Amino acid sequence: MSQDKPTILIERRADAVAPAERERLLQDPGFGRIFTDHMATIRFHPERGWHDAKVVARSEFALNPSALVLHYAQEIFEGMKAYRLPDGGATLFRPDANARRFRSSAARMAMAELPEDLFIASVEALVRTDSDWIPSADGASLYLRPFMIATEVALGTKPSAEYLYAVIASPVGAYFKGGAAAVTIWVSDNYTRAAPGGTGAAKCGGNYAASLQAQAEGAREGCDQVVFLDAVERRWIEELGGMNVFFVFADGSLQTPPLTGTILPGITRDSLITLARDMGLTVREEPYSIDQWQADAKSGKLTESFACGTAAVVTPIGHVKGRKHAFTIGDGKPGAVTERLKAALQDIQRGRAEDKHGWLHKLG
Ligand SMILES: *Cc1c(COP(=O)(O)O)cnc(C)c1O
């Protein structure tokens, strides 16, 4: 392999959205509703390896009805963001961590592994091409969605030989309508998200498909999100459908479930552990049961809880409901430690605080 930066062909479209219309769309982008002008794509073929890397007009894919992804769900994805910096430049946040996780998701799903430098180069090329789409409002960013599908034409059950990797970009505002308000979460005690030996640690669409019924049940119960318990004992808290979870105690310590293979290793989770320790707080990666959570919230031993992930950043949890549980965290409002950690993370991502850990990947 050459040490040179991978080459990505850029084919700018002639019919891009007009600047005035783009500015109008960026006023109130919502989440995942608006998409930029271009996309990045790279193909894999066993004889040619990774080839045809390019940024082109965002358009439909032509897929053969026998493409393996449509039948056996070989699909993985990533979620990351480009942020506008105070000097007008832009930055990615820990893209090397997304590139590594994308490879390990691919390995788990028996898919071709995209080299990390090619992953980062493709994301960079798309963000540079569509840089006018990065919103500058506080809390807004350009959400990036790298993903990969199995494209071999076959119906036999086997790993696909061919893949299509792509990156699309979507300007986003705050994830939850209402911004930083605390959310109510539903305890799913009948549906589980991931079992030991399964795909819980891979970022694959299949995990999401399996969580939608629980999410719909939570919504019917008036909840914003679902918290999943472990599949073996139905007792240990794992994570939300797309976010990791943290607990804050009256003694100032924090706890989050350990990465034992059924939980997605969140980059926000990892960053917050580091930032909390920088602040001198103790963070334990240890199992925590749903009954203990209720008992500690009721006794006042636990004072705050929050969910975290790239899309929603840090989201305070105010209330927890389930068939056998009902409790309020603290006074049901965002807590001080939660707010402090969220501000610390966002200040780094937005270039307002020193990047001590070298997490920013500036695009210049
Ligand atoms: C993406 C994801 C997360 C959060 O990961 P980040 O890297 O922090 O965005 C948590 N849980 C699941 C199931 C996810 O898919």
Q: Is residue 309 in contact with ligand 1, taking CB distance under 6 Å?
A: yes
Write the pLDDT tens digit of every residue in 153-205: 999 999 999 999 999 999 998 665 555 689 999 999 999 999 999 999 999 99
Q: Which of 121, 143, 172 is the last residue of a domain?
A: 172
- Domain-embedded: residue 123: yes
Q: Which of 172, 202, 219 is the last residue of a domain?
A: 172
> Looking at the structure, do residues 32 and 73 belong to the same domain, yes or no?
yes
Q: What is the pLDDT of residue 1?
A: 46
Q: Is residue 310 in contact with ligand 1, taking CB distance under 6 Å?
A: yes
Q: Is 50 exposed, middle or buried (0-12, 13-18, 19+ CB in 10 A)?
A: middle
Report the nearest-CA residue for atom 10 of ligand 1.
Answer: 243
User: Which range of residues forms the domain containing residue 225?
Assistant: 183-350
Write the pLDDT tens digit of every residue in 236-272: 999 998 999 999 999 999 999 999 999 999 999 999 9
Total structural domains in the chain? Answer: 2
CA of 267 to the centre of ligand 1 (A): 7
> In the structure encoding, which two tokens stand for residue 61, read together?
């894919």
- By most ligand atoms within 8 Å of CB, the mutation choice from 203, 267, 346 for ligand 1 is 203
Q: What residues are labeled active site?
A: 203
- Domain-embedded: residue 320: yes
> Looking at the structure, do residues 281 and 337 belong to the same domain, yes or no?
yes
Q: Is residue 242 in contact with ligand 1, taking CB distance under 6 Å?
A: yes
- Domain-embedded: residue 345: yes
CATH code, 119? 3.30.470.10
3-state class of 28 per DSSP? coil
> Looking at the structure, do residues 160 and 284 belong to the same domain, yes or no?
no
Q: Is residue 268 in contact with ligand 1, taking CB distance under 6 Å?
A: yes
Please list the alpha-helical segments (H only) found in the chain. Answer: 19-27, 69-72, 95-108, 116-129, 205-220, 267-278, 290-299, 336-349
> Which H or E run includes 233?
none
CA of 198 to the centre of ligand 1 (A): 16
- Domain-embedded: residue 363: no
- Domain-embedded: residue 358: no
- Domain-embedded: residue 357: no
- pLDDT at residue 283 tops 50: yes
> Looking at the structure, do residues 155 and 281 belong to the same domain, yes or no?
no
> Looking at the structure, do residues 14 and 112 belong to the same domain, yes or no?
yes
- How many C-alpha atoms does 331 have within 13 Å on its Cβ side? 4
Q: How far is CA 331 from the centre of its chain?
A: 28
- Domain-embedded: residue 4: no
> Looking at the structure, do residues 202 and 151 belong to the same domain, yes or no?
no
> In the structure encoding, which two tokens stand for residue 170, read together?
């979507």
> Looking at the structure, do residues 158 and 199 belong to the same domain, yes or no?
no
Q: Which of 172, 207, 231 is the last residue of a domain?
A: 172
> Looking at the structure, do residues 167 and 217 belong to the same domain, yes or no?
no
pTM of the shown model: 0.96
Phi, then psi, of 30 in degrees rounded to 5:
70, -155
- CB atoms under 10 Å from CB of 121, counted, come to 20
- pLDDT at residue 279 tops 70: yes
CA of 244 to the centre of ligand 1 (A): 7
Phi, then psi, of 314 in degrees rounded to 5:
-125, 125
- Domain-embedded: residue 337: yes
Q: Quick one: which of 102, 100, 108, 117 has its CA closest to 2?
A: 117
Q: What is the pLDDT of residue 180?
A: 63
